[in-house]
A and B are shown apart, each in its own frame.
Chain A
Amino acid sequence: MVVVELWCILLLLALALVALPASRQGLGGPVVYGGALLVSLAACATGAKALAGGDASALSLPLGLPWLGMHFRIDALAAFFLVVVNLGAAAASLYSIGYDRHESAPLRVRPFFPAFLAAMNLVVVADDAFSFLFSWELMSLASWALVMAHHREEANAHAGLVYLVMASFGTLALLLGFGLLAGPEGAYQFDAMRTAHHAPWLAALVLALALLGAGSKAGIVPLHVWLPLAHPAAPSPVSALMSGVMTKVAIYGLVRIVFDLLGPPDWWPGLVVLALGGITAVMGVLYALMEHDLKRLLAYHTVENIGIIFIGLGLALAFRANRLFEPAALALTAALFHVFNHMVFKSLLFFGAGAVQVETGERDMERLGGLIRPMPVTSFAFLVGCVSISALPPFNGFVSEWLTFQAILLSPELPQWGLRILIPGVGALLALAAALAAACFVKAFGVTFLGRPRSDAAVAASEADRFSRAAMLVFAAICLLAGTLPGFVIDALAPVTQGLVGARMPTQSADPWLSIVPIAASRSSYNGLLVFFFILLSASLAAAAIHRLASRALRRGPAWDCGFPDPSPSTQYSAGSFAQPIRRVFGPVFAAREHVSMPPPLSTAPATIHVTLRDLVWEAIYAPLGHAVAFAADRLNHMQFLTIRRYLSLVFAALVVLLLVLAIWL
């Protein structure tokens, strides 16, 4: 099992090495991405097999620190995440075969793409602190190189800087955490950490550090700032990987540390994680609503979905701390299910955004529109993605959020008042986030694909190439399948929850009509398949009946528009105007300012509206930090320009101080 996986990783690294020579032969794209596709599929199959098999398989290689070696292990959790990672990787590779032809700097992408995949696989199978952090940081490094692929744009260089610093911040936080877990003797093996008993304060500290480390990678507020910078900067398949897959690897890290290594913690960590999740979900979707750059919008939505996943994890923590294992299993299943779902539809959406960017050269929604006609397949797939991410039945996004709600409804069984007070609020935040997400994706799809083209580029657009279309359609199909047959996914997750919280949800696939029943049929149940068929049935029924009994005639005419149709596309509702009501409602979050200047009567000057939004998180935390560093650097910089005499006096001062220390203390 693990051997096969390691061979896959090795093959990916080999691909990274042959990328440049192959490119010199002029077949770099097919070789690298085709190879990556095959290897990822193999690794995905391995993961699925391990998940089905259930038994953990381990292996250690004499690499890294010799007395430690590099340990690898595939248990249920790792297997599940292997499936997630490699499924996304396979789709991204397939997409890249086509995208590579439009890539402006292919040689800066091809070598690092497989390396990035390999690193993510390594993180998942790592079984000791060293190899975990090694591959974790390798993952950051490879993705940083990919972000820097289009390094000639100033913004991308800045994005790369912020990204790498934040990533290393996370790694160092995790490093400190592992340092605590390992103890002064350096017991870096995960087994040792599992068996070791950790003092409560230590567990708390480790948890905080893990939240900082994994959270900064996953993008929880306020550690999310790099996401909307880095994800759009990278080439679209890489954006899909970073947003859809890498953030999931971060979630894996958190689950591995908190659920697996740390042993049973106190109840309040659940509180913290829940609160973070709720805030992250709502903040993320609000930022996304205010965004007009399609890829930045998607990146912010990643923040939102990470929040939703965190809510599930927090619930699971809280339940587990109170030894309510079935509810914990339910919550954890919901979180992991959402991990899978988000991987699928976020990759799908980024593929779509990438196709749009390739065909039109635009990412700004205000200059797009009407793409549903030139790009039918892309727009259809994108629509499926939008419906799924908006948590609308019968697609997969709804199922995981529904499960989360069911878990929330079990929380009155919790004894702690803090949780009792907090959880309903978090539930409200979750519902709010879901509703806002729907609004946001009406905006995203409506402005980008519907209406009339807002620029010549949008007029001249054409359908994406067949590889991209294939990748998108496959994921669209998965969205529908996972939404209509969720029982199988839940059952597949059973070994994971069994291993982590010592319980599992009741077997679903045996239920009549393949519906899912989290606890008991009398309590709640949902059947995506039947629902899907009902809607399909009644829709076609209505259509057939109407066409047969009533009329089927259809005339084309100019738009009615209350009698004042205006040919200019600029009269359409724009993304900004669409978001305006919500901006009014949630204005304080962005310290939004609207400045309207109305010309005086009889003046022909155009009226203008000027909207300013501020990223309060950045202003509150990151800008001050940057200023502090700059200030210190400026102050200390004088040390470079002293005279020799002053340097001598420094030496002298050091000597005198040390002698004084000797004289006084010793």
Chain B
Amino acid sequence: MTVLPFDAVAALLLTPLAAAVVLTLLPGHRLKAQVNVAASFLTLLAALSLLVAMRPAPSTFLLIDDLNIVFIVLGSFVGFTTSVFSASYIAHEIETGRLTPAYLRFYHAMYQVLMFAMNLALVSNNIGLMWVAVEMATLTTVVMVGIYRTHEALEAAWKYFILGSVGIALALFGTILVYIAAEPVIGEGLLSMEWTLLSSRVADFDPALLNVAFVFLLLGYGTKVGLAPLHAWLPDAHAEGPTPISAVLSGLLLNVALYAVLRFKILLAGNLAAFAPGPLMVTMGLSSAVFAVFMLYRRRDIKRLFAYSSIEHMGIITFAFGMGGPLANFAALLHMTMHSLAKSGIFFAVGHIAQVKGTQRIADIGGLTVTNPWLGWSLVVGVVAIAGLPPLGIFTSEFLVVSSTFARAPVLAVVLVLGLLVGLGALVTRLNGLAFGEPRGEQHPGEASYAPMLAHFALVLGAGIYLPGPLVEWFRHVSSILG
């Protein structure tokens, strides 16, 4: 651990904020895109420096511990690659005229605000602050989802907005309840909202209040995680928004919301009198996964298809975290990481595909491995990855989830396995149509940098074959925290 010349946490938060301010003033989308990439890169550096840096002591508002650093590094990495992808994507959209600079005026600024909000949610040591940050992230994405201003886009944004607001309200109610539970023990004021204090003193809280609070928090933040039946906004938001945002949503926002749920799970686990949060998460996770795999079958829009697969995987992750225990938690962390990388990589590919084919309708896309070998085979790799087949990383995590579950709760494992199988069937069916068979649909010229996509898939592949020891030690430590 080295002491850094600068405050990494401050850098993590201020870089995006400053960039946002700059981006609102800058003219010209190309320049903006470059600044955007640069800022995201700096954020990534700050996040990485946190790994080596001496951790700052938890303050009233900010906290860095092993749990959230996983999310921070992952998030800022996906944020960076997505900004690179977004540069080429937006450029192409403007050439084809689907987006005008006028629409894009605040796009990049919003992107940085989103980054800021998510980092804030992750590093905040205060449940109230975290709530504010998560909601900020939500509202930002609402605006960005509607950016195409088409009818569908606006409806999706509106749906997202309304359901999101209700989620906000529920989460807030839960937060207030936690405060009320903590207040008699810790005392009035901000102190009763501090993680470090809450988690240390939780044993004395009023369990019944904690129970009610967790229900509200699970539903409130679970809406952002996209757990069925709170998922309704997710597919449309992914499908109608610009693809970089779809990637960010699947790759980051869902994880951030999940992080919030996890925090409160830890809190509840600390209080023996309160009910165990595990079964609740297991139920919701499993039901979302099973629900999503069936929804995969009738999809006509390629982005909505993968959005539902995100619901499936978030379900699996929630399920695994709910099962708990070192193996399951490790598997869940690994699965979350792999899924973020793979799914955002898939959305990069899908973005390029949609630009080359000029449509998102699955029926008008076919034979990609013939017409666009790079895109086609990348899509194959991505689908193989999220289908949980080796040699890609998700296989490892699914292996751990299933085999560790089966020894403890065979029925659940069987249900999960059947769900996975049904999902695989749906994905392969779609893949047959998209990547193989006679080429379908028209062809547009489109040059783009495949670097982010390939980087993501390379990481997933590498992790499937070899997991570096330190990473694993770290994950295991985190999973021991999660209990």
Partner of B425, one of A135, A629, A640: A629
Cα distance A188–B396 in the bound complex, in angstroms: 13
Cα distance A644–B414 in the bound complex, in angstroms: 34
Give the chain B neighbours of A648 by CB distance below 8 A.
Answer: 162-163, 166
* Known contacts A134-B395, A161-B429, A642-B232; is-contact A168 B424 (Cβ 8 Å): yes
A460 at the interface (CB under 8 A from B): no
B461 CB to nearest A CB, Å: 12
Give the chain B neighbours of A27 by CB distance below 8 A.
Answer: none
Residues from 621 to 660 in A contacting B, C-beta threshold 8 Å: 629-630, 632-634, 636-637, 639-640, 642, 644, 647-648, 650-651, 653-655, 658-659
- For A650, the closest partner residue in chain B by CB is B229
Cα distance A633–B408 in the bound complex, in angstroms: 30
B391 at the interface (CB under 8 A from A): yes
B390 at the interface (CB under 8 A from A): yes
What are 19 A-B contacts with C-beta separation under 8 Å?
Answer: A130-B396, A130-B399, A133-B399, A134-B391, A137-B390, A168-B387, A172-B417, A175-B399, A176-B406, A633-B298, A639-B295, A650-B229, A650-B232, A651-B167, A651-B223, A651-B229, A658-B215, A662-B212, A666-B211
Give the chain A neighbours of B402 by CB distance below 8 A.
Answer: 172, 175-176, 179
Listed stretches A62-70, A218-226, A266-274, A311-319; interface member: A62-70
B67 CB to nearest A CB, Å: 20
A183 at the interface (CB under 8 A from B): yes
Give the chain B neighbours of A634 by CB distance below 8 A.
Answer: 298
A271 CB to nearest B CB, Å: 24
Give the chain B neighbours of A172 by CB distance below 8 A.
Answer: 402, 417, 420-421
Residues in chain A within 8 A of chain B (CB atoms): 62-67, 129-130, 133-135, 137-138, 140-141, 148, 151-152, 154, 157-158, 160-161, 164-165, 168-169, 172, 175-176, 178-180, 182-184, 186, 188, 629-630, 632-634, 636-637, 639-640, 642, 644, 647-648, 650-651, 653-655, 658-659, 662, 666
Partner of B389, one of A137, A152, A662: A137
B428 at the interface (CB under 8 A from A): yes
Give the chain B neighbours of A658 by CB distance below 8 A.
Answer: 215, 218-219, 280
A-B interface pairs (CB < 8 A), number: 178
Cα distance A273–B224 in the bound complex, in angstroms: 50
A211 CB to nearest B CB, Å: 16
Q: Is the CB of B297 within 8 A of A633?
A: yes
Cα distance A152–B211 in the bound complex, in angstroms: 57
Cα distance A62–B470 in the bound complex, in angstroms: 13
Q: Is the CB of B403 within 8 A of A175?
A: yes
B 408-443 binary contact with A (CB < 8 Å = 1; else 0): 101001100100111011101100100011100000
Partner of B466, one of A64, A138, A151: A64
* Known contacts A129-B403, A137-B395, A186-B404; is-contact A168 B389 (Cβ 8 Å): yes
B384 at the interface (CB under 8 A from A): yes
Residues in chain B within 8 A of chain A (CB atoms): 158-159, 162-163, 166-167, 170, 208, 211-212, 215-216, 218-219, 223, 229-230, 232-233, 235, 275, 280, 291, 294-295, 297-298, 325, 327, 367, 369, 384, 387, 389-391, 395-396, 399-400, 402-408, 410, 413-414, 417, 420-422, 424-426, 428-429, 432, 436-438, 465-469, 472, 476
Give the chain B neighbours of A659 by CB distance below 8 A.
Answer: 212, 215
Q: Is the CB of B467 within 8 A of A184?
A: no
Partner of B166, one of A161, A640, A651: A651
B300 CB to nearest A CB, Å: 10
- For B219, the closest partner residue in chain A by CB is A655
Cα distance A178–B413 in the bound complex, in angstroms: 13
Cα distance A68–B327 in the bound complex, in angstroms: 12
- For B425, the closest partner residue in chain A by CB is A165
Cα distance A265–B255 in the bound complex, in angstroms: 46
Partner of B432, one of A161, A180, A182, A636: A161
Q: Is the CB of B432 within 8 A of A157?
A: yes
Partner of B295, one of A129, A141, A179, A633: A633
- For A646, the closest partner residue in chain B by CB is B232
Tell me if A's interface is mostly helix, strand, loop or mixed.
helix
Cα distance A141–B425 in the bound complex, in angstroms: 14
* Known contacts A636-B294, A644-B162; is-contact A662 B425 (Cβ 8 Å): no
A564 CB to nearest B CB, Å: 49
Q: Is the CB of A152 within 8 A of B437?
A: yes
Give the chain B neighbours of A647 by CB distance below 8 A.
Answer: 159, 163, 229, 232-233
- For A61, the closest partner residue in chain B by CB is B466
Q: Is the CB of B428 within 8 A of A169?
A: no
Cα distance A632–B294 in the bound complex, in angstroms: 7
Q: Is the CB of B297 within 8 A of A151?
A: no
Give the chain B neighbours of A62 by CB distance below 8 A.
Answer: 466, 469
Give the chain A neighbours of B294 by CB distance below 8 A.
Answer: 629, 632-633, 636
Cα distance A378–B176 in the bound complex, in angstroms: 82
Q: Which 3 A-B pairs have the closest CB atoms?
A: A179-B403, A179-B406, A633-B297
Cα distance A288–B294 in the bound complex, in angstroms: 36
Cα distance A124–B425 in the bound complex, in angstroms: 28
Q: Is the CB of A644 within 8 A of B163?
A: yes
Cα distance A630–B402 in the bound complex, in angstroms: 25
Q: Is the CB of A182 within 8 A of B407?
A: yes
Cα distance A184–B408 in the bound complex, in angstroms: 7
Cα distance A639–B466 in the bound complex, in angstroms: 40
- For B418, the closest partner residue in chain A by CB is A172
Partner of A176, one of B167, B218, B367, B413: B413
- For B334, the closest partner residue in chain A by CB is A65
Give the chain B neighbours of A644 by CB distance below 8 A.
Answer: 158-159, 162-163, 232
Give the chain A neighbours of B404 by CB distance below 8 A.
Answer: 179, 184, 186
Q: Is the CB of A141 within 8 A of B389?
A: yes
Give the chain B neighbours of A134 by CB distance below 8 A.
Answer: 390-391, 395, 399
Cα distance A102–B410 in the bound complex, in angstroms: 50
Q: Is the CB of B407 within 8 A of A637?
A: no
Cα distance A651–B211 in the bound complex, in angstroms: 18
Q: Is the CB of A182 within 8 A of B403?
A: yes
Partner of B437, one of A141, A151, A165, A169: A151
Give the chain A neighbours of B215 by CB distance below 8 A.
Answer: 655, 658-659, 662
Cα distance A141–B381 in the bound complex, in angstroms: 11
Cα distance A632–B325 in the bound complex, in angstroms: 33
Known: A180-B406, A647-B229. 5 other contacts (CB 8 A): A134-B399, A141-B390, A179-B405, A648-B162, A658-B280
Q: Is the CB of A165 within 8 A of B413?
A: no
Q: Is the CB of B298 within 8 A of A152?
A: no
Give the chain B neighbours of A157 by CB distance below 8 A.
Answer: 432, 436-437
* Known contacts A182-B407, A640-B235; is-contact A64 B465 (Cβ 8 Å): yes
Give the chain A neighbours of B420 by CB distance below 8 A.
Answer: 168, 172
Cα distance A182–B327 in the bound complex, in angstroms: 12
A13 CB to nearest B CB, Å: 10
Cα distance A130–B438 in the bound complex, in angstroms: 37
Partner of B467, one of A66, A164, A662: A66
Partner of B211, one of A67, A130, A176, A662: A662
Q: Is the CB of A168 within 8 A of B295?
A: no
Give the chain A neighbours of B389 by CB distance below 8 A.
Answer: 137, 140-141, 168
Partner of B414, one of A176, A632, A639: A176
B436 CB to nearest A CB, Å: 4
Q: Is the CB of A164 within 8 A of B219?
A: no
Cα distance A175–B296 in the bound complex, in angstroms: 24
Cα distance A188–B404 in the bound complex, in angstroms: 11
